[in-house]
Amino acid sequence: MIKRSEEVATALAEGRPVVALESTIISHGLPQPRNLEVARELEGLVRAGGAVPATIAVLDGVPRAGLTDEELVRVATEPGLRKLGFRDLAPCATLKLSGATTVSATSFLAARAGIRVFATGGLGGVHRGYTSVQDESADIDTLSRTRITVVCAGVKSILDVPATLQRLETRQVTVVGFRTDTFPGFYLHTSGEPVDWRIESAAEAAGIMRAQDALGGPETALIVANPVPQDEQLDPALHDRVLAEALQAAETSGVTGQAITPYLLEYLVEATQGASLAANLAAVRGNTRLAAEIASSWTPEN
Ligand code: PSU
Ligand code: MN
């Protein structure tokens, strides 16, 4: 059902490191035409880190792990590409449609394809105003039942961060800070919320993955929370001001459901004249490099 590219299949068969990359960030999270450059750049960063990139998406009903450049172009430019969570995979396959995969669908497909490490920007989570709209990203549910390591800069700061951390605790998802004692804030170096565990190296992340397997129990994820460097973060005052505006604008225009995350991200890019985009990209780049390092530490031969 999942089509692995030859390069990805060979690397996995030979026990060489592979890093999964998601496609929603490309199709729905970043503006065109920059998104295609970024998609290519991220694959290059994985290679530079000694691993094989496996960008994941569904094309003409076929879930794929590892895309050709032509397929990457489709993900970045095809109009009307769907945004797919795990629950959307079966209908998309049956109707032979194409879509970009979120953290939830990417984690599921990566694990099924035999890939253990995945890099993204910021996870989905509990939205502000949860008590009235009950919008909690399916990312959390999938991570509570999928054996995958996700390297991210925390959860998107458009969310209710403390509520999201609480949900991750309830759902038994392991969260560690990479060289930090506080949970990163996506565009911001820190969200100010404490994180219970701190690690200093990719080798320690790989050690935790082995311990997860040795312990058994529910097949939960490991979140490696890697902050955007302080000097590349979005100015916190600008962030807070523009985010308040964005949330207000979303409410006024009645945007909800799947559309809310892309709406807010795009609003921030425009209102900060690209500064939020720069911080987002810095975060994703750092996560991709670290994911390649973790994948390299984790493979059996190392
Ligand atoms: N990280 C980014 N940009 C994004 C996303 C993550 O830097 O666009 C995407 C991921 O695919 C994540 C999704 O799974 O946003 C969450 O969407 P929702 O809140 O609708 O579950
Ligand atoms: Mn949602």
Counting from 1 in the atom list of ligand 1, the atom nearest the Cα of 125 is: 19
pLDDT score of 302: 45
3 is catalytic: no
pLDDT score of 299: 73
Spans in the chain with pLDDT lower than 70: 300-302
Q: Whose Cα sits closest to atom 2 in ligand 1?
A: 121
Out of 6, 22, 204, 301, the active site residue is 22
- How far apart (Å, rounded) are the C-alpha atoms in residues 134 and 128? 9
Residues lining ion ligand 2 (Cβ < 5 A) are 135
For the chain, the three-class secondary structure string (H helix, E strand, C coil) is: CCEECHHHHHHHHCCCCEEEECCHHHHHHCCCCHHHHHHHHHHHHHHHCCCEEEEEEEECCEEEECCCHHHHHHHHHCCCCEEECHHHHHHHHHCCCCEEECHHHHHHHHHHHCCCEEECCCECCEECCHHHHCCECHHHHHHCCCCCEEEECEECCCECHHHHHHHHHHCCCEEEEECCCECCECCECCCCCECCEEECCHHHHHHHHHHHHHHCCCCCCEEEECCCCHHHCCCHHHHHHHHHHHHHHHHHHCCCHHHHHHHHHHHHHHHCCCHHHHHHHHHHHHHHHHHHHHHHHHCCCC
- Average confidence score pLDDT of the chain: 96
% residues pLDDT > 70 (the chain):
99
Tokens (6 digits) for 248: 């207000």
Residue 291 CB neighbour total at 10 angstroms: 32
Question: Strand 99-101 relative to strand 82-84: parallel, antiparallel, unpaired?
Answer: parallel
pLDDT score of 12: 97
* Domains of the chain (ranges, CATH numbers): 3-298 (3.40.1790.10)
| Ligand 2 centre distance from Cα of residue 256 (Å) | 8
156 is catalytic: yes
Q: Whose Cα sits closest to atom 16 in ligand 1?
A: 124
Q: What pTM value is reported for the model? A: 0.97
Q: To which residue do tokens 């994820």 refer? A: 221
**Cα of 295 vs its chain's centroid, Å:** 16
Counting from 1 in the atom list of ligand 1, the atom nearest the Cα of 101 is: 11
pLDDT digits (tens, 9 = 90+) for 245-298: 999 999 999 999 999 999 999 999 999 999 999 999 999 999 999 999 999 999
| Ligand 1 centre distance from Cα of residue 261 (Å) | 7
